[in-house]
């Protein structure tokens, strides 16, 4: 039986959702707006409760005011009638939550008996709090039958991953655990395997005979001012590569799963991660934007990278010899979240001098997403002059999808683990990344507003990094 069949519950089962770190930035920007989006789409059960938990001593009404402020700033501002119904299900349990002192959590949960309510713990807290909170769930008998959601990163090194993994499995069964990576909740990330497996046009060319390179490109114009202390202790590799970019690479590179059930999809994803070759520091470029060390919370002599570009190899028959190029960074010249499959030019044929970007299939993962296919065509007019044309399918024209966090929260409430990571895959992630983490070079400076150190351009070869296609009115 597929794994999600035994865990999935009816949407009518009452849910008590406990949000640890409810006053924090992640909850405010992502989790609370996502939960409200589920409510407005009718995707919550008839009976539900959202219980904020933290060290503050807020009343229920003070927490409700905080939630409404968060929705007004980062989500959909509710009208009075919608808000009144939503706010009636909000509670707050202050005083912290530790092994020795549960604060008000147990008192509030007393109104939601665990024999009739599905309990979900969401840890929107710094990674250093994952272990202590997990132990507290066990100490206060809040683990049996519940589900628990861990934010990334799940560990900050190979050793810390093993320690945290043991702490978690000392308290929870693996089928209760949801390690969230919101890139897997993006509509177009899921289209990576749907387009490939459901369309014969692409199924036959998804291999090294036809693909010259794969680029996973996530540059950001944002700085790190609002989370400088956290970022300076992690950097681009931990913040983006071992989490989001590796998972997206696995979506591209996986072998066809037996089915799209949770078990089979996870197995395909984790199996190909096991084939990622350990990263070679000589095939990576680290950068740090100019002015980074002047940010409050950043050490004046910090060597934390704010940019990373690297070449990775997937040791399977399908992808042997095809470089997977990963790039991400802060304060760059543009923002994007794109997967580009750069196809090989025809080996035999009468047409030569094909444009460098003339055979590219792109997936835009940002916003509502889009699929773009670039092809080499003849320019109108006399003679044979070649140009590149592109066809774009914006996904908003197909369906009104949920935001990534909303999609993943909905899966948690239903018990569907298809889009969540497993410990075997995470173990391989750390095996792959550790040589790079242990041998990071001094980051190269780059101007804010640039696309990072120029040395990163050579990783992509003569064709360079694929630029977004021009937009047409």
- State the CATH number of the domain containing residue 136: 3.40.50.720
Beta bridge partners of 372: 362, 392
Answer yes or no: do 106 and 231 share one domain.
Answer: no
Specify if 371 maps to a domain.
yes
Question: Any idea what the CATH number is for the domain that residue 265 is in?
Answer: 3.30.360.10
My answer on whether 256 and 325 are in the same domain is yes
- Which of 132, 151, 170 is the endpoint of a domain? 151
Q: How far apart are CA 14 and CA 20, in angstroms?
A: 19
CA–CA dist 77, 112 (Å, integer):
28
On whether both 190 and 137 belong to a single domain, the answer is: no
Q: In the chain, what percentage of residues exceed pLDDT 70? A: 93
Residue 119 and residue 200 in one domain: no
Pairwise pLDDT comparison (153 vs 219), residue with the higher score: 219
**Same domain, residue pair 227 and 274:** yes
CB 323 within 8 A of CB 311: yes
Tell me if 239 is assigned to a ligand binding site: yes
Task: Give the chain's mean pLDDT.
Answer: 88
- Name the pLDDT band for 10 (thresholds 50, 70, 90): very low
Q: Is 220 annotated as a binding residue?
A: yes
For residues 369 and 186, the answer to whether their CB atoms sit within 8 Å is yes
**Cβ-based burial of 208 (10 A; exposed 0-12, middle 13-18, buried ≥19):** middle
Cα gap 83→70, rounded to integer Å: 13
Is the pLDDT at 137 greater than 70? The verdict is yes
Q: Is 311 annotated for ligand binding?
A: no
Give the residue from 151, 169, 200 where a domain finishes: 151
Helices marked H in 12-110? 25-26, 32-40, 60-74, 80-87, 105-109
- The answer to whether position 195 is within a domain reads yes
Same domain, 312 and 443: yes
pLDDT at 398 over 60: no
Euclidean distance between CA atoms 251 and 31, whole angstroms: 24
- Partners of 53 in beta bridges: 20, 93
pLDDT at 259: 85
User: 327 and 245: one domain?
Assistant: yes
pLDDT at 185: 79
Is 281 in the same domain as 349?
Answer: yes
Contact 264, 258 (CB under 8 A): yes
Instruction: Considering the candidates 121, 244, 320, 353, report the single residue annotated as catalytic.
Output: 244
Within a domain: residue 408? no
Q: What pLDDT is recorded for position 374?
A: 80
21 shares its domain with 63: yes
Report the percentage of the chain scoring pLDDT > 90.
60
Q: For 6-15, 172-181, 238-247, which range has the lowest pLDDT when averaged over its residues?
A: 6-15
Q: What does the pLDDT read at residue 9?
A: 40
Range of the domain at 34: 12-151
Same structural domain for residues 258 and 110?
A: no
Structure tokens at 129: 């709090």
Residue where a domain terminates, one of 96, 128, 151: 151
Let me know if 244 is a catalytic residue: yes
Q: Say if residue 174 carries a ligand binding annotation.
A: no
The secondary structure of residue 145, as a DSSP letter, is: T
In a domain, 95, yes or no: yes
- Whole-number pLDDT of residue 365: 86
Q: How many domains does the chain have?
A: 2
pLDDT digits (tens, 9 = 90+) for 434-471: 999 988 878 999 999 999 999 999 998 887 898 876 55
Q: Is there a domain that residue 59 lies in? A: yes
In a domain, 3, yes or no: no
In a domain, 379, yes or no: yes
341 Cα distance to chain centroid: 20
Q: Identify the CA nearest to 181 among candidates 105, 97, 248, 121.
A: 248
Residue 186 assigned ligand-binding role? yes
For residue 337, what are the contacts with CB-CB under 8 A and spacing of at least 6?
Answer: 183, 186, 217, 218, 364, 365, 366
Residues 241 and 349 in one domain: yes
Lowest mean pLDDT among 44-53, 226-235, 248-257: 226-235
Q: Judge if 379 and 428 occupy the same domain.
A: yes
pTM: 0.85
248 located within any domain: yes
DSSP letter at 44? Answer: S
pLDDT per residue as tens digits for the range 315-367: 999 999 999 999 999 999 999 999 999 998 877 767 767 766 778 898 888 87
User: Could you report the per-residue pLDDT of 159-211, keeping only the tens digit for each?
Assistant: 999 999 999 999 999 999 999 888 787 777 877 878 888 888 888 899 999 99
Q: Of 119 and 258, which is predicted with more confidence?
A: 119
């Amino acid at each position: 039986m597929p794994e999600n069949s035994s865990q999935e519950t009816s949407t009518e089962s009452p849910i008590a959702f406990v949000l640890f770190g409810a006053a924090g930035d992640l909850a405010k920007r992502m989790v609370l707006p996502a939960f409200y989006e589920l409510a407005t789409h009718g995707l919550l059960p008839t009976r539900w409760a959202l219980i904020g938990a933290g060290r503050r001593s807020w009343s229920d009404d003070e927490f409700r005011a905080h939630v409404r402020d968060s929705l007004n700033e980062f989500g959909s501002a509710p009208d009075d009638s919608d808000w009144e119904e939503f706010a009636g299900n909000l509670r707050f349990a202050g005083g912290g939550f530790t092994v020795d002192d549960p604060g008000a959590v147990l008192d509030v949960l007393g109104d939601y008996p665990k024999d009739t309510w599905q309990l979900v713990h969401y840890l929107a807290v710094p990674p250093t709090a994952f272990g202590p909170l997990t132990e507290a769930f066990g100490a206060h008998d809040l683990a049996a039958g519940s589900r628990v959601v861990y934010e990334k990163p799940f560990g900050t090194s190979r050793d810390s991953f093993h320690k945290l993994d043991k702490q978690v499995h000392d308290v929870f069964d693996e089928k209760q655990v949801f390690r969230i990576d919101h890139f897997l909740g993006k509509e177009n990330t899921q289209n990576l395997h749907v387009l490939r497996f459901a369309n014969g046009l692409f199924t036959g060319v998804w291999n090294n005979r036809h693909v010259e390179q794969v680029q996973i490109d996530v540059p950001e114009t944002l700085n790190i001012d609002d989370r400088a202390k956290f970022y300076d202790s992690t950097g681009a590799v931990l913040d983006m590569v071992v989490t989001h970019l590796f998972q997206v690479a696995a979506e591209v590179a996986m072998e066809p799963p037996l089915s799209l059930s949770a078990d089979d999809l996870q197995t395909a994803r984790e199996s190909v991660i096991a084939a990622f070759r350990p990263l070679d520091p000589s095939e990576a470029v680290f950068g740090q934007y100019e002015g980074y060390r002047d940010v409050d919370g950043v050490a004046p002599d910090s060597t934390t990278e704010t940019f990373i570009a690297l070449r990775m190899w997937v040791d399977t028959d399908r992808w042997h010899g095809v470089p997977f190029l990963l790039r991400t960074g802060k304060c760059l010249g543009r923002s994007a979240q794109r997967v580009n499959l750069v196809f090989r030019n025809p080996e035999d044929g009468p047409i030569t001098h094909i444009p460098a970007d003339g055979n590219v299939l792109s997936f835009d993962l940002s916003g509502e997403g889009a699929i773009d296919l670039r092809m080499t065509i003849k320019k109108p007019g006399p003679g044979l002059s070649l140009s590149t044309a592109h066809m774009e399918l914006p996904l908003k024209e197909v369906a009104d999808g949920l935001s990534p966090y909303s999609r993943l929260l909905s899966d948690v409430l239903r018990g569907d683990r298809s889009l969540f990571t497993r410990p075997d895959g995470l173990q391989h992630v750390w095996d792959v990344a550790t040589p790079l983490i242990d041998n990071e070079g001094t980051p190269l400076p780059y101007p804010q507003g640039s696309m990072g150190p120029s040395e990163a351009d050579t990783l992509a070869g003569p064709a360079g990094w694929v630029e977004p296609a021009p937009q047409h009115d």
